[in-house]
Amino acid sequence: MVCPNCSKRYTHPNSYTRHVKNECIAVEPKFPCLDCGSRFRRKAYLKDHICPARRVAFVATTNPSSS
Ligand SMILES: [Zn+2]
Ligand SMILES: [Zn+2]
């Protein structure tokens, strides 16, 4: 199976369906980060995302005299 949008090849129907529905470049990212506005195609990506907005808040609260 070949994705019509990006020409990626898949041997397993499940992988192909998942790609076309969620991961393909043609798919609108469904998981926005509420802190910085970045959007992700997979929930796992959002979870692993090191948010710049959140990191700034973290640094500001724990290390106010940032050296
Ligand atoms: Zn694709
Ligand atoms: Zn973020």
> How do the pLDDT tens digits run along the chain, 67 residues long?
999 999 999 999 999 999 998 889 888 888 999 999 999 988 999 999 999 988 776 676 766 665 5
**In this structure, what token pair is assigned to residue 4?**
């019509």
Q: How many residues in total does the chain contain?
A: 67
Beta bridge partners of 32: 39
- Tell me, what's the pLDDT at 65? 64
Residues with CB under 5 A from ligand 2 (ion): 33, 35-36, 38, 51
C-alpha–C-alpha distance, residues 38 and 53, integer Å: 10
Q: Strand, coil or helix: what is 28?
A: coil
Distance (angstroms) between ligand 1 centre and the Cα of 5 equals: 5
- Tell me, what's the pLDDT at 13? 97
Distance (angstroms) between ligand 2 centre and the Cα of 32 equals: 8
